[in-house]
Structure 1
Amino acid sequence: MNQILSKLLLILATALILISCQNEQQQKGIFLNYRIEHFDTQNDQMNVELSITNHSDLSIKSSTWELHWNQMKGEIIPSSLPQGVSFERINGDYFRLKFSDDYSLKLGETLKLKCIQSGVMDRLAMGPLGVFIVHDEKAFDLQTSIEWKEAKGVENLHFMDAEDRYMEYQDISPLSTDALSWVVPYPKISHFNNTYTQAAPSLFLKIDDEFSKDFKTIEAGLSELIVLSDKSKSVLHLSYDNNLKSEAYTLEIKEQGIYISASDLRGVFYASQSLRQIFSIAILEDKGWPILIIEDEPRFEYRGFLLDISRNFYGKEEILKVLDLMGLYKLNTLDFRLTDDEGWRLEIPDLPELTSVGAKRIYSSTSNTSLLPMYGSGANGSPTSNGYLTREDFVEILKYAKKKQINIMPQISFPSHARAAIIAMEARYEKYMAMNQSEKALKYRLRDGDDQSEYVSAQRYTDNVICICNERAYTFFEKVYSELQNMYNDAESTIERFSIGADELPYGVWTSSNDCLEFLQHNSSNVSNIEELYVYNLKRLKKLFDRDQVELAGWEDILLDHSEKSQSETAIRKETFNYEVIPYVWNNTWGEGREDMIYKFTNMGFKTVMSNSSAFYFDMSDDRDMDNHGLNWSGFVNYFDTWGTNPTDVFGNSYLNQKHKISDEYKNNKVTLDREKAQNLIGIQSQLWTETARSKKILEELLMPNLAIFAQRAWAPEEKWMTEKNTRKQQSQMFTAWNHFVNTIGQRSLPILTILDIDVIYHLPKPGALIENDSLTIKRLFPGMEVKYTIDGSLPTAEAETYTKPISISKGSLVQMGSFSSTGRAGKTISIQN
């Protein structure tokens, strides 16, 4: 009997393998080649050819079939299609082509289709993603390739070549490590005279009585840096100094030991993070411990980072890694974007649809069973399109953040950017209506089923705004808020500030909603129009938060008039909410007239946070390069733009003014920060929106070293060049300081991540190169990074030649080069031909 059972199991296993292989071939055996024939930048369009080749066992014929995909730049012009093929924008940037019975794709066949697309795809990340075919109610993904290099007009995209990068790096040269900083962000004061003492194997911890209540916390944190032993002859003395501000510390390394002073636990923690870097650099450079004195305190009280896990999801461990990096660089607030149109990423008890539907992006022929397959999710979802944090995950994250002295501000977008919540609650509504439980079905429904309002959001959705005219919206929000409070309580933490996001509310919402017309005609709050309705919504939410002494935060949009001007609106609402609402001011694109909005709010009396999209958005592509990830609606934002922006004077950098063509006349018409109100600018925040971060690798490349560079602006004191009014002197001082900083990042900050056991795939920028008189010179953005090269046209590997000095190159040679990490990981290559 056992032998028969074993044979049956073997046959079954073999059959399953064969079926699996067949399915895999069906999914991988049909290919799409997307070839751009002409980049017509003058008319902002492209001529393209789609070639679909069938090498699978599946023959597509006899019935209508469809091609689905996402594309951020490039939308097919329907009139350019042949008869029998129709184009449709389903929603957002989700498209499909429908083929009539005249079009088949039999085994071995290739179907070619030429068309014109409006918009120009200037990065692969903007192109067709997540391509799949729907046939006979089944969907399967296609492998996709993109051809663009031979297209007519490609030169008009002005991509950065090796010579362009060489010129961009011309002010960068290697410095001796003796001249570099031991800590990033730079301390306020640091004294180091190139003398060292032998690293102690252990330290004896001595703590003043004022810190005794936190002894276990301090001991646990310091134990992660070094062995603590009562028998050690070297001391680690922690002193309480009431004269130091909150978060400030002093740190002195002597031959006898290490001496730290602080007035609170945060100061102790930040001193330990400086030590963490110093110890790692000592190991890296094998020099022992530096004898030095540091006196340090932050420039800004608020030092934030926004992580968007709604567009793409990365799991709990990745978030813990982000928190570790934030702690290392002394950032103190995580603005945690948990929800958006494309994902709801947190389990909420009693509302399972929020994650069973709202955390899943796949193709479905049935509405409201999942979200649309956006951002390259494909037919069956991608590794980052689906998933969510369980309640237990979130509590663990809160506890870890507390260890790292980081406050987590939850961001639940309301009422805009809410499509995931709307669709999830619509699924719940349909479920209970099918069970004839209408009261339960309606309880959390977020949509007015009869709403005929027409609007298009910034991401081109037509159904992503909650109907705030019905009490159900507030029942839903209060449920989510209550469950979040419970999670914070379980983590022994508190919600200090809650962000409702609420940016990019489309013009036209609620105007043809029966629920809203009814509310405007019959309400006891004297709300008579849409503008007043939105203020009423904010007041209700603020009242809820006030009950728990929680601050209400949101993007600056919540304080601006809602008009047809949309994101170009600059008129501030008359309603100030007693200046108790905190605007996060993000929309600062150079030359569009909103660079000074942060100062307008600050001078009025609002506590403000600068989130400048033209400086602190890590998801903005750094330059013109088809390989780059990120967007560029706020311009191209590179590392220098982040480092070179002075938050208290955005027009103070003469080089950036020149780069962005900002005239004196334009600048002089803008509002500046009133120095008497400067304390209202409580800090700055960086953002990483994840539309194009479709893997953990991409996420981490966008995160680092961006996070370290941003931290320099958030913590380090105002630099000398920032107040220099003479353009020539300012730029000379500035580029000297920039060279020092990029050397510190390249030679120390990035290499020590391995020693710190922080496994992060940081960005390796392409090098620049110049060939003159058959001599090749290579420059890199971060001195300390190795550059490997070949001269035979092959791609460089870790075994390729390392560039150390100019080399002779024969005529016709094709040089391929790329940056490499200290562990041998390769960045993207760039070439130059003699």
Structure 2
Amino acid sequence: MQRGVWTLALVSVCVAAIQQDDLNYIGENLDVKISVHNDLRKTDLAKHRFGLTLKNTGSKTIRSDSWAIYFCSFFAIEPGNLVSPAGYVLPNYNVKFNHIDGCLFSMAPTSDFMDIPANGSRFVEFFGQWWAVTRTDVPPNWYVAAPSLTPVNIKSTATGKKFVTEFKTVDQWKRYLVDQYNPFTAQDRFRRYKVRNFNTHIKLVIPTPKEIDVTSEKFINIKDKNVVCTQDANQSCLLLKEKLGLSYTINNDVAQIQKQNGIRVWMNSSLGINQGLYHLYTYSTKETVTVIGQSPVAIYHGIQSLLSLVSGSPDNDSVPDVRIEDEPRFEHRGMHVDVSRNFRTKEDLLRLMEAMSMYKMNKLHLHLTDDEGWRLEIPGIPELTEIGSKRCHDPDETKCLVSQLGSGGDQTTSGSGFFTVADFQEILDEASKRFIDVIPEVDIPGHSRAAIKSMEARYKKYATSNQTRANQYRLVDPDDTSEYQSVQMFDDNAINPCIETTYAFVEKVILEIKKMYEGHQTLKFFHFGGDEVPELALVNSTKCQQFTRDNPYYNTTHKLKEYFVLRVSNITHSLGLDLAGWEDGLLQEGGVPFERTVLPNSAVYGNAWQNIWEWGAGRRAYDLANSGYKVVLSHATHLFFDQPQEPDPEEPGLYWATRFTDAMKAFHFLPDRLYDNIAEKRSGERLTKSGACGENMENCPPLVNKNNIIGLQGQAWGETFMTSEIFDSMVFPRILSLAERAWHKASWEDMEQPGRGVAALEDWESFANTVGHKEFKRLGQLGINYRIAPPGAIVENGYLRVNTEFPGHSVQYSRDDGVTWFDIPHEWFLRDKQPFLVRSCLLDETRCSRTIKFYPDEPAPISEQHLVDYISENVETRYEVISNLINEWQNFSARISLYNKGERDLSYGNWEIYFNSIRLIQPNDYPYPSGYLLPECNMTVHHVSGSLFKLTPTDNFRLNQKRGLSCTIICKYWQSAITDSMPNWYVAADAMRPKNLTFTEGEDLNYVASFVRREQYIRYPTDGWKPFTAEERFDRNQAMTVSGMPEKRIIPTPVENLLQSQSVTIDSSWVIVNLTDYISEIQLISDLLTIQVAAAKPASKYIEIITDNSMTVLNNQETQDEAYIISINPTNIAITVRKPCGVLYAYQSLRSLLNPNKALPIGDIKDQPRFQYRGMHVDVGRNFHTKEEILKILDAMAMLNNLKVEVNTALPGLNIQYTEKGRSNWRDVTSDTKILPGTDIELRTLA
């Protein structure tokens, strides 16, 4: 890990006086608070923004020194900037970030960083890639370290501390603009949980037996029953003894057993072909309970059903009269547990297996290794656990791996730990007792950083003393310069498949694991992982380049992975084992499975997991099965139990596959109809089967080899499982839904919609009541801290109604911020609409859900960008003045109409329509801080600021497709012109990009109705103005045209106009005489007439500028410097002036006189301004005008000499500056600014 070593070495060169006490002080007293915003409205959707506050809560100063803070981020920090091993100094904050490896980053003060005094704080804002929408996106246990000192975990960031601030706004909990998910409100939960509470369990056994009949209403007390078993049933009868205290005898004479009363248990291998098949019969009349199984494991399942019956009986010591004939749906009913990312103890696994056995699950898949940790002792390679099982602050990684996933700077968290051989064999023994197969996974060749770093530590240990041992199990090519990054941001986690020591290592590990199983459990297959090998790994490995020259088929990373799989397959086959891997470990480039016959194992198993439907990978399960692989459905959208259980920032878990999966979603998974699980994208947007698979299902091949789908498996990936309690709450109760689907095929699974959905919900209702009223108690007896979900709550007809995810929990409320709690009454008429806290609890109140705030008035549904876009494009808006005569001249009435022309119904939400009105709306009711209700359309109007108003829908608002509505408003004064209405109404919602209502766009104001009635166009009863008729307009135009009047050749009219009818043509033979006092003005005239500038005056055909400081035209001293005289003769033109401005005005007059043929009339023009100030005002504050528009105005101003630019109306902070073109002396445009017409200027706007 050269990058990480270099980074920390860089810190070490900053020799400073920092001592261990200083680090200890920082760890104890630095209060870290971090907030997250996703800035959805910005065009760059690839980043989220962190606001980090570091507060010194102690009494000493925290000095800028050689310390650095280390933390984990699941997403790259400062993407695009932090690309160099040297790090990135964040402008304005004087801190430097470094990427160490994986999720580990550091932040160190630079020399300019200001000390943090006692009770002082520093703020740092920086960016992360993609988005962050949950607290667990910011892992805990930040720590501070400095060279040669012991690192110290920062106390304020410890596991369980809420150092990440609340996610209160839309742009904090949405990933992108079209994200459909929002945190559930209490009302949302109430509707989702809405199942009838039967106050008892409905299903006698979970998972549901294939056939079960209650034959009478009688119960059999079993506490006093004798138990007799065949030897094959010994293990199951031990369970009866353990759970119920019933002693038993062994009798292998089945005929004799059948004659006895009590509980009879035996095996009958001819019962059927399914090894899990069992029958359970109870007869109250005969006082007998009979359990018959096809195999020992089948008997065990029958006993578990018997125990379930007992636990559901009224007194917990009897069973009802039933007939059960049952068998498992799938042979593989598994649970995967990642013990690498965060170590799970032996006790965690034993507790899990006890519950798994209750629900007839039979496979425990242990993810023993990954980048972040190696968790199993391997005799002969002690470095794997000496180094690879520990995480701490060790830049050289000679003692431990660097910290990851919030494991802190020491080895006290779940980042460190491993199973000894004895531990693992104890797990195997306990699994065997419960008929659970333990599947060992060593994840190779990707996800192998822990193994690589352990073997590099081994290499360094023996490099000088024993080269054979040093290289014996080395996993990398030291000359490999490949640059890559894995999904988890590691650049050094791929084992090299081109060196033989790799396979010595693999064979040694598998052989040692196989030995561990001997005498404890039969190891049937080895799981090699194989997933997520980085694309660019190995490309610069000299060993691989040499290998591919000799073996050109293996010329890509994908092909080298194929070679690796073949070698591992041969190793496992030689050891008598089958092989298993994650789906992508068994796929070639393009997602095509490896040819099955190439792998010599009798069976190869694949966990199909990546089914993000819109990514096109959901077909992989069937591709593998059709290619001859045994497939375990492990799909991320329904069976990854590391994903959150609600789309709420407070719910832990990663959400790359789906925003949430709760027990109900897992319950509804359809294993036999894989593509019928297609319902939505990751965003929550609706996705149809044809949308994912194509109209002809071309992207979703059918399942041909159905027998190759062998089961289901839940996945508990461990990145966010910091404690045993979190582990339990993430796995339970979802695992019960998994067990139900893996064992039992419900009748509704083969139904079509909509009947399937109705039947499935009825089944869920029975399942939920059974879990809530029975199974939770059983789990609690095992010490399992299953998740208790927050309650649902809603006000209906004034009464508060509450429910829980699984019936059987109590719901409590608090009105004093959680100090005191009370059970919610059965009938509570809620008069006070103030929000209060609610929670779900066990009946004994020993455990409760997280607390939520309940708002009796349900918050408006959150809108997303699709809705905003739809309203923009499909809501036709019209505005019509009704009457200006409703009460003399004080008010007028108008109508706003909305028509939904699209294909989607619109209803209540947090979207709003904004518009401008120059008249105050509802003036007689103003102010209205909560808005003014417009009952006709169920909207409220609000005054935002100035002329800006908005319309907000109420909870009764409906605007269905192809329907319209309208509402009447009262406005102040009158409106008698269309331009009193403003264009560009727009729709907006929190954190979404606002969009103009297209029907209101443009200055033609087509959305405004015509003013045709008298009450629409007159302002008040005595108003004498009315719109011109065509006749009136004709007469006015006629009056403006006086026959025989000469045309004005120059505007404004000069003082004297002595022009004749003759003219002179100015051609290229004419020149204008140069004069240094008038260089720019001479150039203007030269360009106008297309003539040359001459240094000397010729005899004829010239234009001359004459300066005469005594010249006057008007008796007006204030304007005499602007006077000019033009004398146009056939041979020359003289322009007499006092100052350059006179030349400019003369130029403007020549422009007016010049005809298209370049002819000028002969004669004289004498002119001088009447007033010194001749101005034009332009308002760029209310509506901005560009530089080009201002320059056009300047050009058109002719002989006006002042341009007033109003810049600050309603736009505080806006500043416009100007400079003459080519210069850099920028000056503010103020009310006193004077810019002469013809002056070439540049403008700029500053905020």
TM-score normalised by the chain length of structure 1: 0.89
How much does 1:160 deviate?
1.8
Task: Give yes or no for the alignment of 1:399 onto 2:429.
Answer: yes
d(CA) in 1 for partners of 2:92 and 2:805?
Answer: 48
**Counterpart of 1:666 in structure 2: which amino acid?**
A
2:113 matches 1:92: no
Q: Distance in 2 between matches of 1:814 and 1:305?
A: 41
What is the Cα deviation at residue 272 of structure 1?
1.1
The whole-number CA distance in structure 2 between the counterparts of 1:708 and 1:499 is 25
Q: Which residue of 2 aligns with 1:763?
A: 787
**Alignment partners' CA distance in 1, 2:91 and 2:785:** 43
Q: CA deviation at 1:759?
A: 0.4
1:516 matches 2:544: yes
Per the alignment, residue 441 of structure 2 pairs with 411
1:313 and 2:343 matched: yes
Contact 1:812 1:833 in 2 (8 A): yes
| One-letter amino acid matched to 1:54 | N
Task: Give the SS at the match of 1:817.
Answer: strand
Q: Secondary structure at the match of 1:788?
A: strand
Give, in whole Å, the separation in 2 of the partners of 1:222 and 1:744: 22
Q: CA deviation at 1:57?
A: 6.8
Q: Report deviation, 1:234.
A: 5.2
In structure 2, the residue matched to 1:328 is 358
**Post-superposition shift, 1:638?**
2.2
Could you tell me which residue of structure 2 aligns to residue 101 of structure 1? Answer: 111
List aligned pairs for 1:95-244, cutoff 5 A.
95-103=105-113, 104-138=115-149, 139-142=151-154, 143-144=156-157, 145-149=163-167, 153-154=171-172, 158-170=182-194, 172-177=195-200, 180-192=202-214, 195-207=217-229, 211-212=230-231, 214=232, 216-229=234-247, 235-241=262-268, 242-244=270-272
Aligned twin of 1:277: 308
1:183-213, CA deviations, whole angstroms, 9 ceiling, x for partnerless residues? 1110001112562324232332223xxx43x
Mapped contact 2:237–2:248 kept (Cα < 8 A): no
Residues 663/371 of structure 1: CA separation in 2 closer, same or farther (3 Å cut): same
1: CA distance, partners of 2:536 / 2:830: 62
Counterpart Cα distance in 2 of 1:292 and 1:753: 24
In structure 2, the CA distance between the partners of 1:53 and 1:659, relative to structure 1 (3 Å rule), is closer
CA distance in 2, matches of 1:152, 1:642: 27
Distance, in Å, in 2 between the alignment partners of 1:237 and 1:21 is 70
Structure 1 residue corresponding to 2:632, chosen from 602, 606, 609: 609
Summarize deviations over 1:534-565 as a string: whole Å, max 9, x none: 22221221111112331111011122224xxx
Segments ≥4 residues shifted beyond 6 Å: 19-24, 230-233, 654-659
Structure with higher helix content: 1
SS of residue paired to 1:102: coil
- 2:57 equivalent in structure 1: 55
Relative to 1, partners in 2 of residues 1:251 and 1:796: Cα closer, same or farther, differing over 3 Å? farther
Cα distance in 2 for partners of 1:708, 1:152 equals 33
> Which position in structure 1 is the counterpart of 2:615?
592
Match of 2:289 among 236, 241, 258: 258
Alignment of 1:777-796 (within 5 A): 777-790=801-814, 792-795=815-818
Correspondence for 2:3: none
Shift of residue 670 of structure 1?
A: 5.2
Matched AA of 1:817: V
SS at 2:688 equivalent: coil
- Summarize the Cα distance change of 1:654–1:556 in structure 2 as closer, same or farther, 3 Å threshold: closer
The offset of 1:623, in angstroms, is 2.6
Contact persistence 2:23–2:152 (CA under 8 A)? no
Aligned residues: 793
Q: Which runs of 5+ in 1 are unaligned?
A: 1-18, 563-568
Structure 1 position 480 matched with structure 2 position 491 = no
Q: CA deviation at 1:532?
A: 3.7
In structure 2, the CA distance between the partners of 1:286 and 1:499, relative to structure 1 (3 Å rule), is: closer
1:570 matched to 2:591: yes
Please state if 1:459 is matched with 2:488: yes
Q: How many angstroms does 1:506 deviate by? A: 0.8
Matched AA of 2:516: M
Distance in structure 2 (CA, Å) of the matches to 1:659 and 1:292: 46
Q: Is the 8 A contact 1:338 1:412 kept in 2?
A: yes
Q: Take 1:607 and 1:111, find their aligned partners in 2: how far apart are those partners?
A: 57
- Report the alpha carbon displacement of residue 655 of structure 1 after superposing the two structures with TM: 6.6
1:823-834 to structure 2, matched below 5 A, reads 823-824=844-845, 825-834=847-856
State whether residues 335 and 363 of structure 2, in contact with CA within 8 Å, keep that contact through their aligned partners in structure 1: yes
8 Å CA contact 2:55–2:119 kept in 1: the answer is yes
Deviations 1:445-501 (A, max 9, x none): 11211111111111111111111111111111111111111111142x221011000
Q: Secondary structure at 1:456's aligned position in 2?
A: coil
* Alignment check: 8 A CA contact 2:442 2:529 kept: yes
Cα RMSD between the aligned structures?
A: 2.8
Mapped pair 1:681 → 2:685: no
Measured after TM superposition, the shift of residue 367 of structure 1 is 3.3
Aligned to 2:298: 267
Could you tell me the percent identity over the aligned residues?
26
Deviation by residue 1:698-754 (Cα, 9 ceiling, x = unmatched): 00001111111100010012x2222222x2222211211111111111111112223
1:11-58 deviation per Cα after TM superposition (whole angstroms, max 9, x unaligned): xxxxxxxx9999976532221111346744654444433221223476
Alpha-carbon deviation of 1:394?
0.5
User: SS at 1:620's partner residue?
Assistant: coil
Question: What's the offset of the Cα at 1:822?
Answer: 4.2
Gaps of 5+ in 2: 1-18, 82-88, 158-162, 176-181, 250-256, 857-1247
> Counterparts of 1:506 and 1:413 in 2: how far apart (Å)?
14
Shift in CA distance, 460/767, structure 1 to aligned 2, threshold 3 Å? same
Select the residue among 805, 818, 823 that pairs with 2:839.
Answer: 818
What TM-score, normalized to structure 2?
A: 0.61
Whole-Å Cα distance in 2 between the matches of residues 291 and 41 of structure 1? 64
Cα distance in structure 1, aligned partners of 2:627 and 2:493: 32
Q: Partner amino acid for 1:351?
A: I
Determine if contact 1:361/1:372 at 8 Å carries over to the other structure.
yes
Q: CA deviation at 1:427?
A: 0.7
CA positional deviation for 1:345: 0.4
**Cα distance, 1:575 vs. partner?**
6.0
Q: Say if 1:520 and 1:823 are closer, same or farther in 2 by CA, change over 3 A.
A: farther
Counterpart position of 2:30: 30
Indicate the structure (1 or 2) with the bigger Cα radius of gyration: 2
Q: Does 1:75 align with 2:77?
A: yes
1:746 alignment counterpart: 772
Structure 1 25/295 Cα, relative in aligned 2: closer, same or farther at 3 Å? farther
2:325 is the counterpart of 1:295: yes
